[in-house]
Amino acid sequence: MPRRILLQFDCDDQPSTFDAVVAVDAGADVLLRHGGVSPANVAGLVHGAIFTRGGGDLASTAIFVGGSDVEAAESVRDRVVAAFFGPMRVSVLLDPSGANSTAAAAVVAASRHVGLAGTKAVVLGGTGPVGQRVGRLLARKGASASIASRSAERAGEVCRAIRAAVPGAVVEPVCPGHSLEAAVASASVIVGAGAAGVALLPADAVRAAREARVIVDLNAVPPAGIGGIVANDKAAPAAWNDRLLLYGALGVGGTKMKIHRAAIGRLFERSDLVLDAEELLAIGESLETTVR
Ligand SMILES: NC(=O)c1ccc[n+]([C@@H]2O[C@H](COP(=O)([O-])OP(=O)(O)OC[C@H]3O[C@@H](n4cnc5c(N)ncnc54)[C@H](OP(=O)(O)O)[C@@H]3O)[C@@H](O)[C@H]2O)c1
């Protein structure tokens, strides 16, 4: 069995040390780290990976695409895949800034307590990299998702992108002032994906979420994104509503790490995987059935 080589392609000048440590912990024997990767310079790196090992040995080579610019990383992933041909390919994982694994973990957490198909959900900070993916994954699971933003235009753009990616998606843009408050009041699931350290929903507004069964706040930097949730909450009962369970960023973080590590492991099982948010959600769901 050849050694498992992971090529880390990062759009930032300095490739992420976080992603490097996870890769090693997840079983990569050799990690080749590249920073400053772009669609313009990645094809040569891919050719170096696919022209060295042949046949079944290619499954022991894989690519991780990351970086803090999620759109740039998506473009790199697309160029990586375009450089493959026939059997000359290796498996690829896209998880820039942890956006895909974090969104998948949030949806897995919510789905422990609420059947997502047909349920009403609100994604606060729904225009950021994580929020966009939470909205897309909720739509894929059949939830009716309100995408919240300070800008109706930005939220509308995200809804259009989700509808384009998920045929039949039921999504709507909401903004503070009226539509957000109404959406929160009727939602079963609320996910806070606002910027770090930004309070999006104060504690009194959370109490107005009388239908809520699960609230997830992904912000780990004080103050809380959603009032009344602390970072370590993991299915913690809300003091003000005995039917409501709370998750904080660290409460979801363990699931995120499991998904990230398991996804790296999957890369080495075959040579034709391209793992994005949807595939990470499926991995998260499979871990729920095997681990719990
Ligand atoms: N637990 C984990 O493992 C993990 C991993 C990755 C990320 N995270 C956390 O997940 C959250 C989302 O990450 P992200 O990168 O997607 O966030 P982001 O892009 O920094 O922000 C998300 C959205 O928050 C809104 N926002 C920004 N500043 C605001 C302000 N001052 N007031 C109100 N709204 C504001 C913006 O929406 P509008 O401008 O459209 O209103 C923005 O699109 C962050 O808290 C991050 O720390 C957690």
- Co-location of 82 and 179 in the same domain: no
Ligand 1 atom closest to 155 (CA): 40
Q: How far is the CA of 128 from the centre of ligand 1 (A)?
A: 6
Q: Strand 234-238 to strand 241-247: parallel, antiparallel, or no bridges (unpaired)? A: antiparallel
Report the chain's C-alpha Rg in angstroms. Answer: 19
- Co-location of 146 and 242 in the same domain: yes
Residue % of the chain over a pLDDT of 90: 96
Q: How far is the CA of 125 from the centre of ligand 1 (A)?
A: 6
What is the pLDDT, as a whole number, of residue 48?
A: 95
291: pLDDT strictly greater than 70 = no
Segment 167-187 shows an average pLDDT of: 96
- Co-location of 187 and 111 in the same domain: yes
Q: Can you tell me the distance from the alpha carbon of 101 to that of 219, in angstroms, rounded to the nearest whole number?
A: 15
Q: How far is the CA of 49 from the centre of ligand 1 (A)?
A: 35
Ligand 1 atom closest to 97 (CA): 6
CATH number of residue 39's parent domain:
3.40.50.10280
- Co-location of 157 and 19 in the same domain: no
**Paired tokens of 166:** 């998920």
pLDDT band of residue 189 (cuts 50, 70, 90) is very high
- Co-location of 134 and 241 in the same domain: yes
What is the pLDDT, as a whole number, of residue 86?
A: 93
Ligand 1 binding pocket mutation candidate from 69, 97, 154, 198 (most atoms within 8 A of CB)? 198
What is the pLDDT, as a whole number, of residue 290?
A: 67
Segment 139-160 shows an average pLDDT of: 98
Whats the size of the chain, residue-wise?
Answer: 292
Q: Residues 56-97: pLDDT tens digits?
A: 899 999 999 999 999 999 999 999 999 999 999 999 999 999
- Co-location of 68 and 194 in the same domain: no
- Co-location of 74 and 120 in the same domain: no
- Co-location of 130 and 113 in the same domain: yes
Ligand 1 atom closest to 196 (CA): 45
Long-range contacts of the stretch 150-156 (C-beta < 8 A, 24+): 150/175, 150/176, 151/127, 151/175, 154/127, 155/126, 155/127
216: pLDDT strictly greater than 80 = yes
Ligand 1 binding pocket mutation candidate from 146, 150, 234, 250 (most atoms within 8 A of CB)? 150
- Co-location of 28 and 110 in the same domain: no
Q: How far is the CA of 291 from the centre of ligand 1 (A)?
A: 30
203: pLDDT strictly greater than 70 = yes
Number of other CB atoms surrounding residue 41 within 10 Å: 13
Ligand 1 binding pocket mutation candidate from 18, 108, 130, 256 (most atoms within 8 A of CB)? 130
- Co-location of 238 and 147 in the same domain: yes
Ligand 1 atom closest to 249 (CA): 1
- Given a contact cutoff of 8 angstroms between Cβ atoms, the answer to whether 102 and 137 are in contact is no
Look over the chain and give the mean of its residue pLDDT values, rounded to a whole number: 96
Q: Can you tell me the distance from the alpha carbon of 264 to that of 24, in angstroms, rounded to the nearest whole number?
A: 9
54: pLDDT strictly greater than 90 = no
Atom 21 of ligand 1, nearest CA residue: 195
Atom 24 of ligand 1, nearest CA residue: 194
- Structural domain count, the chain: 2
Segment 142-166 shows an average pLDDT of: 97
What is the pLDDT, as a whole number, of residue 80?
A: 98
Segment 163-184 shows an average pLDDT of: 96
Output the CA torsion sign for 271, 276, 278, 282: positive
- Co-location of 218 and 201 in the same domain: yes
**Paired tokens of 14:** 């300095």
What is the pLDDT, as a whole number, of residue 275?
A: 98
- Co-location of 245 and 265 in the same domain: no
Ligand 1 atom closest to 200 (CA): 33
Segment 207-233 shows an average pLDDT of: 96
For ligand 1, residues with CB inside 6 Å are 97-98, 102, 125, 127-131, 149-151, 154, 193-196, 198, 200, 218-220, 249, 252-253, 256
* Enclosing domain of residue 115: 102-252
Q: Residues 95-130: pLDDT tens digits?
A: 999 999 999 999 999 999 999 999 999 999 999 999
CATH number of residue 203's parent domain:
3.40.50.720
Q: Which residues 6+ apart lie within 8 Å of 26 measured at CB?
A: 260, 261, 262, 263, 264, 265
Atom 6 of ligand 1, nearest CA residue: 98
Q: Angle 18-137-70 (CA atoms, 0-180°, nearest 5)?
A: 40
Atom 31 of ligand 1, nearest CA residue: 198
- Given a contact cutoff of 8 angstroms between Cβ atoms, the answer to whether 162 and 136 are in contact is yes
225: pLDDT strictly greater than 60 = yes
Helices (H) and strands (E) in the chain, counts: 10, 12
Question: Alpha-carbon dihedral of residues 141, 142, 144, 146, nearest 10 degrees?
Answer: 30
